[in-house]
């Protein structure tokens, strides 16, 4: 960002994930948090104590009516992102949206059209694109050192059993994590590959694990999920993600292979090292990656410092009247891989086209596509969230009771779940 004295005033919708954006704002010049908005009074009280100089509102409309607020961080529940983002854009606010971009194709088209009509900055907040090693991969790819993409892989395996009670809200009907389908949470594995290469996905086929399928009395564990993605240049990408097996610390892993060389991150336990082989090398080279700027500041923020750079790029786009580094179209591409990957699973694993929602003709073709696994979706559009049933599978009463018991000891409204990435430095 430049040395401009203009300070972008943020309103943050969401008092859980939203905390990470407030932490990042505290490390950046030209960005301030003006207000939080949350629905839970107990949680709002905690936020007021954490951030005493920031207003805490209970009405989103009140936040949008604040003329001093320039931009909204949409960090509410995953199935509510589009409505909140469109409201903010219509109110003249720039928008940084958490993942996913949408839960139906029709909603994604509405979002793209609203961004275009309002002319405001919309950035998709796929933070894994800004981990230091991912940025190094992007630097080499954009410089031409790796040549043109032939093959890539992305993995996001995050064992969440022991923190699940901190991630689900039992006080609202059908929290999104209860009905999400196996390919839903795809953007952490596929997103960095799309941002590194700038290529668009054109088709996907997918499969899921079926652990326990043939075991008497067992409920199949449909995890992990894997997508094979065909890119616009013909390259192939493998995306793997899930929550099933014990593994600590969790971390993502990426490989990018081109016509002139390849680069991959370290698998375990520290991903910040990369190994590179370029055509003409005698041996591969391994080295440590670091963010080129704000290194010390980034270490104070979550997800290996990547959260800081999501906000940095958003503020830079606002300040320069430029295009967001991950714009609405790329955000939709990242999201559609999982959405249409699930249709591939339900159809037996064949290839499914991914529409280009930059193209109004494609939008016309898909604008009434409202298929979703969310309970309450009209019957003609309701999809099962498991491949082995025709209905939505929700947690058992026993599982819910166990979660409630955990939340009695560690109340959800007070949970301060943080993903620092490895050990906090």
What share of the chain in percent tops pLDDT 90? 87
Specify the pairing of strand 225-231 against strand 236-242: antiparallel
Predicted pLDDT at 320: 94
Over residues 6-37, the pLDDT tens digits come to: 899 999 999 999 999 999 999 999 999 999 99
Domains and CATH numbers, the chain: 8-127 (3.40.50.720), 129-293+329-381 (3.30.360.10)
Do 235 and 150 meet the contact criterion of CB atoms below 8 Å apart?
Answer: yes
As a whole number of angstroms, the distance between CA 381 and CA 392 comes to: 13
Over residues 188-240, the pLDDT tens digits come to: 999 999 999 999 999 999 999 999 887 877 778 899 999 999 999 999 999 99
The encoded tokens of residue 378 equal 């009209």
Q: What is the pTM of this model?
A: 0.97
Distance of CA 275 to the CA centre of its chain: 26
As a whole number of angstroms, the distance between CA 158 and CA 143 comes to: 32
As a whole number of angstroms, the distance between CA 418 and CA 327 comes to: 26
Buried b (16+ CB within 10 A) or exposed e, 76-103: bbbbebbbbbbbbbebebbbbbbbbbbb
Over residues 159-192, the pLDDT tens digits come to: 988 899 999 999 988 999 999 999 999 999 999 9
As a whole number of angstroms, the distance between CA 162 and CA 261 comes to: 40
Instruction: Please report which confidence band the pLDDT of residue 422 belongs to, taking 50, 70 and 90 as the band edges.
Output: very low
The number of beta carbons lying within 10 Å of the beta carbon of residue 242 is: 23
Residue 109 sits at φ, ψ, to 5 deg, of -65, -45
The number of beta carbons lying within 10 Å of the beta carbon of residue 342 is: 28
Residue 13 sits at φ, ψ, to 5 deg, of -95, 110
Q: Is the pLDDT of residue 424 over 50?
A: no
Integer CA distances (angstroms), 286 to 87, 175, 253, 289, in order: 47, 43, 15, 10
Dihedral Cα 244, 245, 251, 257, nearest 10 deg: -80
Do 225 and 242 meet the contact criterion of CB atoms below 8 Å apart?
Answer: yes
The number of beta carbons lying within 10 Å of the beta carbon of residue 330 is: 22
């Amino acid at each position: 960002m430049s040395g401009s004295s203009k300070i972008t005033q943020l309103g943050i919708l969401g008092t859980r994930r939203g905390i990470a954006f407030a932490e990042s704002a505290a490390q950046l010049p030209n960005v301030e948090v003006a207000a939080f908005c949350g629905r839970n009074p107990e949680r709002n009280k905690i936020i007021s104590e954490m951030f005493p100089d920031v207003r805490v509102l209970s009405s989103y409309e009140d936040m949008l009516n604040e003329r001093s607020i320039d931009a909204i961080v949409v960090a509410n529940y995953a199935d509510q992102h589009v409505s909140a983002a469109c409201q903010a854009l219509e109110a003249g606010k720039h928008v940084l949206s958490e993942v996913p971009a949408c839960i139906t194709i029709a909603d994604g088209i509405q979002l793209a059209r609203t961004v275009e009509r309002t002319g405001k900055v919309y950035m998709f907040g796929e933070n894994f694109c800004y981990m230091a090693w991912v940025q190094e991969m992007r630097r080499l790819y954009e410089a031409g050192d790796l040549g043109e993409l032939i093959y890539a892989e992305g993995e996001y395996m995050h064992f969440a059993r022991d923190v699940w009670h901190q991630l689900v809200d039992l006080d609202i009907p059908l929290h999104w994590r209860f009905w999400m389908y196996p390919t839903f949470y795809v953007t952490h594995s596929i997103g960095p590959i799309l941002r590194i290469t700038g290529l668009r996905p054109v088709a996907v086929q997918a499969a899921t694990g079926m652990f326990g399928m043939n075991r008497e009395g067992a409920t199949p564990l449909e995890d992990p999920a894997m997508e094979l993605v065909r890119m616009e240049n013909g390259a192939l990408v493998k995306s793997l993600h899930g929550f099933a097996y014990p593994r600590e610390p969790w971390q993502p892993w990426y490989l990018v292979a081109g016509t002139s060389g390849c680069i991959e991150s370290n698998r375990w336990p520290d991903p910040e090292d990369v190994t590179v082989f370029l055509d003409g090398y005698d041996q591969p080279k391994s080295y440590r990656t670091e963010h080129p700027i704000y290194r010390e500041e980034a270490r104070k923020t979550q997800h290996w410092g990547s959260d800081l750079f999501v906000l940095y790029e958003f503020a830079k786009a606002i300040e320069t009247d430029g295009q967001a580094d991950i714009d609405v179209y790329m955000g939709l591409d990242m999201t559609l891989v999982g959405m249409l990957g699930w249709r591939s699973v339900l159809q037996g694993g064949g290839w499914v086209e991914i529409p280009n929602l930059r193209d109004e003709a494609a939008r016309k073709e898909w604008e009434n596509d409202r298929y979703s696994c969310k309970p309450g979706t009209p019957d003609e559009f309701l999809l099962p969230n498991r491949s082995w049933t025709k209905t939505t599978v929700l947690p058992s009463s026993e599982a819910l009771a166990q979660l409630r018991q955990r939340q009695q000891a560690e109340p959800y409204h007070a949970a301060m779940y943080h993903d620092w990435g490895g050990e906090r430095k």
